[in-house]
């Protein structure tokens, strides 16, 4: 149940302070509860739309009795891409949930350079299809944390850089180091993000352009996963962007994991 009642505070003694503390705690619990409800509502909404499309397509196929083979083939392809979208959303949701509860997360020392090179190799395939080149300039940097999570975070950001870039452009990816930790830069020359959207891009399911991203199959969860992972590592993320010119993500990962 939701604890709506506040405890009335009278005076300024020990009990009053206890009441205040209780009220604050209560507000926090209510906020978490509201956010959870919203999250479940949003997730259901996101899952509903591909399901509705699949439903319409299958019903049309049934009523057409598969007379027109070409049309049936087109419908099957659409069904296939909607299923891919569903799979993508569910996988990202699972990943987010796992991150929230990862108390026993494996922490190890590893070379960030190896992870970056792995990201470049993996995203390279997608980049090639758009004639985009990823220029990586790194150095050996030992950091402490969860290797798989750091891979996932950097993969998401570099994949976005490619996804939201124009054909025949370049993505620059480099690592520096200073007293704060490893500083990872990912810079593209793509569509950019409007200033008013910048504070929201880390929210779950948030997409700048709903129509455009439907086609690219984005779930709007990629950056919230990145945010969770970097937060867990006590790091930070900064984004600079100009519409039509490009975007730069700067991610700071401390050398030591504090837990």
Q: Is 86 in the site for ligand ADP (CB under 6 A)?
A: no
9 class by beta-carbon count within 10 Å (0-12 exposed, 13-18 middle, 19+ buried): middle
Q: Is 89 in the site for ligand ADP (CB under 6 A)?
A: no
User: How far is residue 17's CA from residue 10's CA, in Å, rounded to a whole number?
Assistant: 9
User: How far is residue 33's CA from residue 3's CA, in Å, rounded to a whole number?
Assistant: 10
Phi, psi (degrees; rounded to nearest 5) at 139: -150, 165
User: How far is residue 244's CA from residue 241's CA, in Å, rounded to a whole number?
Assistant: 9
Check if the beta carbon of residue 50 is closer than 8 Å to that of residue 79: no
Only segment of 37-45, 129-137, 140-148, 188-196 that touches ligand ADP (CB under 6 A)? 188-196
Q: Is 237 in the site for ligand ADP (CB under 6 A)?
A: no
Please select the residue that binds ligand ADP; options are 119, 161, 184, 251, rule is CB under 6 A: 161
Q: Is 247 in the site for ligand ADP (CB under 6 A)?
A: yes
Q: Is 187 in the site for ligand ADP (CB under 6 A)?
A: no
Please select the residue that binds ligand ADP; options are 120, 127, 201, 252, rule is CB under 6 A: 201
Q: How far is the CB of 219 from ligand ADP (least distance, A)?
A: 5
Residue 203 has what DSSP assignment?
Answer: S
Which residue number, 78 or 197, has a Cβ lying nearer to ligand ADP? Answer: 197
Check if the beta carbon of residue 182 is closer than 8 Å to that of residue 175: yes
Contacts of 7 (CB under 8 A, 6+ apart): 19, 22, 23
Q: Is 227 in the site for ligand ADP (CB under 6 A)?
A: no
Binding string, residues 106-145; x marks residues near ligand ADP by CB under 6 A: ----------------------------------------
Which residue number, 132 or 144, has a Cβ lying nearer to ligand ADP? Answer: 132
Q: How far is the CB of 4 from ligand ADP (least distance, A)?
A: 33
Q: Is 230 in the site for ligand ADP (CB under 6 A)?
A: no
Contacts of 93 (CB under 8 A, 6+ apart): 43, 221
Q: How far is the CB of 152 from ligand ADP (least distance, A)?
A: 12
User: How far is residue 224's CA from residue 240's CA, in Å, rounded to a whole number?
Assistant: 17
Q: Is 50 in the site for ligand ADP (CB under 6 A)?
A: no
User: How far is residue 217's CA from residue 89's CA, in Å, rounded to a whole number?
Assistant: 9
Q: Which residues sit at the interface with ligand ADP, rule CB under 6 A?
A: 156, 160-161, 164, 188, 190-193, 201, 206-209, 213, 218-224, 247
């Amino acid at each position: 149940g939701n604890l709506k009642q506040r405890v009335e505070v009278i005076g300024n003694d020990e009990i009053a302070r206890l009441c205040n503390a209780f009220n604050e705690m209560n507000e926090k619990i209510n906020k978490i509860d509201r956010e959870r409800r919203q999250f479940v509502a949003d997730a259901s909404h996101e899952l509903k739309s591909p399901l509705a499309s699949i439903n319409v397509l299958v019903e049309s196929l049934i009523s057409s009795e598969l007379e027109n083979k070409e049309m049936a083939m087109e419908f099957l392809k659409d069904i296939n891409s909607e299923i891919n979208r569903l799979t993508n959303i569910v996988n990202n949701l699972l990943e987010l949930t796992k991150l929230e509860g990862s108390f026993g997360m494996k922490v190890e020392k590893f070379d960030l350079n190896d992870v970056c090179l792995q990201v470049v190799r993996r995203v390279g395939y997608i980049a090639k299809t758009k004639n985009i080149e990823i220029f990586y300039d790194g150095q050996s940097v030992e950091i402490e944390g969860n290797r798989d999570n750091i891979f996932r975070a950097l993969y998401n950001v570099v994949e976005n850089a490619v996804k939201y870039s124009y054909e025949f452009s370049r993505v620059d990816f480099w690592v520096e180091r200073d007293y704060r930790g490893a500083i990872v830069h990912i810079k593209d020359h793509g569509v950019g993000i409007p200033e008013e959207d910048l504070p929201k891009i880390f929210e779950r399911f948030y997409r700048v352009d709903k129509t455009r991203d439907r086609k690219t199959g984005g779930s709007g969860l990629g950056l919230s996963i990145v945010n969770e992972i970097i937060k867990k590592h006590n790091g930070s993320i900064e984004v600079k962007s100009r519409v039509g010119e490009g975007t730069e993500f700067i991610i700071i990962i401390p050398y030591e994991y504090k837990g």
